[in-house]
């Protein structure tokens, strides 16, 4: 391998290393690969929030466009709230204190994002999407570590909303590809429709069995999207956006199988108890356990990239 090719390979790895591999969860989902350990995941998304807000403040300062009055001051207040929570996270282990400060910061972020999303400036709306994504990921990790299980339905609703938004964003990007990528356009269109339907079902309060059934359809469509992307010459930006979708998709599966964010599913416990109570239905319970174990497999497809002269490889996690 020439020095130039090696340098290009290292550059791609460096640029993509923080990103999660897009792995479609066939037949009902994939066990989450993003369950937080310690405060590491929370730190990551706090840094991302701080970075997005910093870039927003810089562009507001240089007046890229016409912005709502007082927006700069509001962004400054949110930025201070994020910095404060970051400080609290590093120095305080009291769950009640952490959750209280997080909720105060989260409320301010939502108010800012809602205001930006109402703007006629498309760039400002895009910045709102990026801030919302980082905030929802932070919310997921904080809830997993310090929240109560009673809030899991709220997290699921928020994530269903986020999945719909990211699916539509991916669809918009795919619509701008050339004609040879019609397969991606069609697949992302179908996936966005399934994501919208799933969000609606969650908001309507459907029971978990209903949600799992609908999610399997969503999951199958996501598999088609990833397959199409891997067969295409689509660029890295589309692949990174697909990874954002995939992360939320996997986290929703995690919640549907375990009942709360960040907790791995425990298969078979309920079936074992029921089998003892109803031995005549043992075969039925065994089939259920087998299906659930199949759903937890991690040998999934992944978003790939090809570097001319170097080869084809999976994007690092």
Q: Is the pLDDT of residue 145 over 70?
A: yes
Topology of domain 30-147, CATH: 1.20.120
Among 100-104, 215-219, 234-238, where is mean pLDDT lowest? 234-238
| For range 228-251, the mean pLDDT | 88
Q: Is the pLDDT of residue 149 over 90?
A: no
Q: What is the pLDDT of residue 209?
A: 92
End-to-end alpha-carbon separation of the chain, Å?
Answer: 24
Q: What is the pLDDT of residue 315?
A: 62
pTM reported for the whole predicted model:
0.74
Q: What is the pLDDT of residue 177?
A: 87
Q: What is the pLDDT of residue 282?
A: 47
Q: What is the pLDDT of residue 131?
A: 96
Q: What is the pLDDT of residue 261?
A: 66
Q: What is the pLDDT of residue 231?
A: 84
Q: What is the mean pLDDT of the chain?
A: 77
Q: Is the pLDDT of residue 306 over 80?
A: no
The segment(s) of the chain belonging to CATH 1.20.120 are: 30-147, 150-268
Q: What is the pLDDT of residue 92?
A: 78
What pLDDT digit, counting tens, does each position of 152-171 carry? 888 999 999 999 999 999 99
Q: Is the pLDDT of residue 21 over 90?
A: no
For every residue of the chain, which 3-state class applies, written as one string? CCHHHHHHHHHHHHHHCCCCCCCCCCCCCCCCCCCCCCCHHHHHHHHHHHHHHHHHHHHHHCCCCCCCCCHHHHHHHHHHHHHHHHHHHHHCCCHHHHHHHHHHHHHHHHHHHHHHHCCCCHHHHHHHHHHHHHHHHHHHHHHHHHCCHHHHHHHHHHHHHHHHHHHHHHHHHHHCCCHHHHHHHHHHHHHHHHHHHHHHHHHCCCCHHHHHHHHHHHHHHHHHHHHHHHCCCCCHHHHHHHHHHHHHHHHHHHHHHHCCCCCCCCCCHHHHHHHHHCHHHHHHHHHHHHHHHHHCCCCCCCCEEEECCCEEEECCC
Q: What is the pLDDT of residue 301?
A: 58
What pLDDT digit, counting tens, does each position of 85-132 carry? 999 988 877 888 889 999 999 999 999 999 999 988 888 999 999 999
What is the percent of the chain where pLDDT is above 90? 43
Q: What is the pLDDT of residue 69?
A: 84
- Token pair for 279: 């031995």
Domain 150-268 has CATH 1.20.120: yes
Q: What is the pLDDT of residue 215?
A: 95
């Amino acid at each position: 391998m020439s020095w130039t090719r090696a340098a290009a390979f290292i550059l791609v790895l460096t640029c993509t290393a923080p990103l999660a591999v897009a792995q479609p969860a066939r037949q009902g989902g994939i066990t989450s690969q993003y369950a937080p350990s310690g405060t590491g995941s929370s730190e990551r998304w706090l840094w991302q929030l701080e970075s997005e807000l910093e870039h927003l403040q810089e562009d507001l300062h240089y007046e890229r466009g016409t912005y709502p009055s007082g927006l700069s001051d509001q962004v400054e207040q949110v930025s201070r709230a994020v910095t404060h929570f970051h400080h609290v996270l590093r120095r305080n282990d009291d769950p009640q204190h952490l959750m209280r400060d997080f909720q105060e910061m989260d409320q301010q972020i939502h108010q800012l994002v809602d205001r930006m999303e109402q703007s006629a400036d498309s760039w400002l709306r895009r910045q709102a999407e990026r801030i919302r994504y980082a905030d929802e990921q932070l919310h997921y990790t904080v809830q997993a570590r310090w929240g109560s299980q009673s809030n899991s339905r709220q997290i699921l609703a928020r994530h269903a909303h986020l999945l719909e938004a990211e699916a539509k964003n991916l669809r918009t990007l795919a619509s701008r590809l050339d004609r040879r990528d019609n397969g991606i356009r069609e697949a992302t269109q179908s996936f966005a429709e399934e994501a919208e339907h799933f969000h609606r079902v969650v908001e309507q309060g459907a029971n978990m069995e209903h949600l799992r059934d609908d999610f399997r359809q969503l999951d199958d469509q996501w598999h088609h999207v990833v397959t199409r992307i891997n067969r295409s010459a689509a660029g890295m930006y589309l692949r990174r956006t697909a990874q954002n979708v995939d992360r939320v998709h996997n986290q929703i599966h995690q919640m549907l199988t375990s009942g709360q964010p960040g907790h791995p599913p425990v298969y078979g416990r309920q079936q074992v108890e029921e089998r003892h109570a109803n031995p005549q239905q043992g075969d039925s319970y065994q089939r259920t356990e087998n299906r659930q174990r199949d759903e937890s497999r991690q040998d999934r497809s992944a978003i790939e990239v090809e570097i001319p002269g170097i080869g084809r490889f999976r994007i690092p996690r």
